[in-house]
A and B are shown apart, each in its own frame.
Chain A
Amino acid sequence: MSVAKSLPARAFGAVGLMAAAMVMVFFVAPEDADQGISQKIFYFHVPIALTAYACFGTGAWKALRLLWTREERYDLESYTAVHQGTIFGALTLITGSIWAKASWGIWWTWSSNQLVLFLVLFLFYCAYFMLRFSLEPGPRRARLSAVYAVFGVALIPVSFLAIRLANDFIHPTVFTRHGAQMTHTMFAAFCVSWAALLALAHVMYRIELLGKRIDANLRDLREALTAA
């Protein structure tokens, strides 16, 4: 329960980091000469995408732990991490789409490998939830979800390679995301923003996990009461 006690402190830490990131991004980092203010979304879009990867990776790691140790608690942890990953994945798609509109004038482009990859992953993890919700709660659901989550993390590099390959015959890559090298302050702003989003994801993960555990405990208590 020590995690639950330190949760408010962690939440304040995440909010503080977020505020620092805002200051760094909007007031310290220089404005991009080419793209102007719209380039600022880079400091959120890319860290959100990296955070989503971290969440999917955590989900797969917890899933592997579940398959190894058969400990029940990893099921909720894996599910919560995948849930957070899907939220951040959806945010990646939204911010990427906004950025594409701002810099290229279109809401969607198939030539951005990262965006296409996130679309594939988004579909994959939505199927994960469909699978989970169509199974009866229990160890079987835990194991099937875990296997699918592990597949997801194998799908990430394979899909990335596939999308890179597909560009050859669909159409060549026209846009490159990093036209110019980042300056030191830009890189610092990027890192602070990434740290803030990771902290935010961690706190959200902890809060959701806590809520789901309380739910499960409550259900157990209620069942024990009705049985008695």
Chain B
Amino acid sequence: MSTYAADVAALARKDLRLELRARDTLPAMLLFVLATLVVFHFALPAGTGHEPAYGLLWVALVFTALLGLGRAWVPERENAALDGLVLAPCDRSAIWLGKALATLTFLVAAEVVALPAFALFFAPLRGTALAGVALADIGICTVGSLVSAMAASSRTRELILPLLFLPLAIPLIVGGVGSSVSPHGGKYLLFLALYDGVFSILSWASFEYVVTE
């Protein structure tokens, strides 16, 4: 088990180091989420109140995550590095978990900027909303890493990723918006935890079939 954790850590560290050197994904995600928030300010008619803004925050977060997920497997695709990883003597699901952790790091980094900006521009965020963001991030990154690996091996790549991912993300949006606006936020947090559990196990179990030849 400890070798499994070490494999996962090594794979995630590789992605973070690549990002530190090339700085491709994270600046793009940061700029995208800020630009989206500004666009939403103009998209909402004046005097609509806080509630629609919370909904739009979740749209912004999911699309920002999509931006990161679209880039997630690019380093592996170039020079067929994924084949090397699959042949490496480690559990295949470690590749997925490492990728999910790296993507989660990028997404959280983007949110560290985006959430205060949202609170500044639109409305304050309460504790359950932040917990909702944290739980939804896990779901987005675990399912997203698997689905983007599927998309990366298809011909249409970036085009097909949102189509594959958005129907799966609808429950996350429901849980996230519910935790932000509903008076019974705890119920939605529970639902998000359930989603994370179900789909993390499914993704963990099925990743091997996605990458092996």
- Asked if A97 lies at the interface with its beta carbon under 8 angstroms from chain B, I say no
- Distance from B23 Cβ to chain A, minimum over Cβ atoms (Å): 30
Q: Given A134-B156, A143-B209, A150-B206 in contact, is the A120-B170 Cβ separation under 8 Å?
A: yes
Could you say which interface size class chain A belongs to? 20 to 34
- Asked if B163 lies at the interface with its beta carbon under 8 angstroms from chain A, I say yes
A106-139 interface with B by 8 A CB criterion: 120-121, 123-124, 126-127, 130-131, 134-136, 139
| A163 nearest CB neighbor, chain B only | B174
Q: Are A131 and B209 in contact (CB under 8 A)?
A: no
Q: Are B213 and A162 in contact (CB under 8 A)?
A: no
Complex interface: chain B residues within 8 A of A168 (CB):
178, 182, 184
* Separation of A59 and B5 alpha carbons in the complex (Å): 35
- Using an 8 Å CB-CB cutoff, how does the interface string of B175-188 with A read, 1 for contact, 0 for none? 10110011010011
Q: Are B209 and A169 in contact (CB under 8 A)?
A: no
- Asked if A210 lies at the interface with its beta carbon under 8 angstroms from chain B, I say no
Q: Given A134-B160, A147-B210, A169-B182 in contact, is the A155-B167 Cβ separation under 8 Å?
A: yes
B14-57 interface with A by 8 A CB criterion: none
Q: Given A67-B209, A135-B153 in contact, is the A123-B195 Cβ separation under 8 Å?
A: no
Q: Given A143-B209, A148-B150 in contact, is the A166-B168 Cβ separation under 8 Å?
A: no
Complex interface: chain B residues within 8 A of A150 (CB):
202, 206
* Separation of A144 and B164 alpha carbons in the complex (Å): 12
Q: Are A143 and B210 in contact (CB under 8 A)?
A: yes
Q: Are A140 and B213 in contact (CB under 8 A)?
A: yes
Q: Are A151 and B182 in contact (CB under 8 A)?
A: no
Question: Please, how many residues of chain B have a CB less than 8 angstroms from a CB on the other chain?
Answer: 35
| A169 nearest CB neighbor, chain B only | B182
Q: Are B171 and A169 in contact (CB under 8 A)?
A: no
Partner of A130, one of B163, B168, B191, B213: B163
* Separation of A144 and B154 alpha carbons in the complex (Å): 10
- Distance from A167 Cβ to chain B, minimum over Cβ atoms (Å): 10
- Asked if A221 lies at the interface with its beta carbon under 8 angstroms from chain B, I say no
Q: Are B160 and A165 in contact (CB under 8 A)?
A: no
- Distance from B86 Cβ to chain A, minimum over Cβ atoms (Å): 12
- Asked if A159 lies at the interface with its beta carbon under 8 angstroms from chain B, I say yes
Q: Are B167 and A165 in contact (CB under 8 A)?
A: no
- Asked if A158 lies at the interface with its beta carbon under 8 angstroms from chain B, I say yes
Q: Are B181 and A169 in contact (CB under 8 A)?
A: yes
Residue contacts A-B, CB under 8 angstroms, 28 given: A67-B209, A121-B167, A126-B163, A127-B160, A127-B163, A130-B163, A130-B164, A131-B154, A140-B213, A144-B150, A146-B209, A147-B206, A148-B150, A151-B199, A151-B202, A154-B198, A155-B171, A158-B194, A158-B199, A159-B171, A161-B191, A162-B174, A165-B178, A165-B187, A165-B188, A166-B177, A168-B184, A169-B181
Q: Which 7 A-B pairs have the closest CB atoms?
A: A162-B171, A124-B167, A134-B154, A162-B174, A134-B156, A127-B163, A143-B209
**Chain B interface (Cβ < 8 Å from any Cβ of A):** 146, 150-151, 153-156, 160, 163-164, 166-168, 170-171, 174-175, 177-178, 181-182, 184, 187-188, 191, 194-195, 198-199, 202, 206, 209-210, 212-213
**Chain A interface (Cβ < 8 Å from any Cβ of B):** 67, 120-121, 123-124, 126-127, 130-131, 134-136, 139-140, 143-144, 146-148, 150-151, 154-155, 158-159, 161-163, 165-166, 168-169
A147-B210, A155-B167, A162-B171 known; 5 new pairs, CB 8 Å cut-off, are: A67-B209, A140-B153, A143-B209, A162-B175, A165-B187
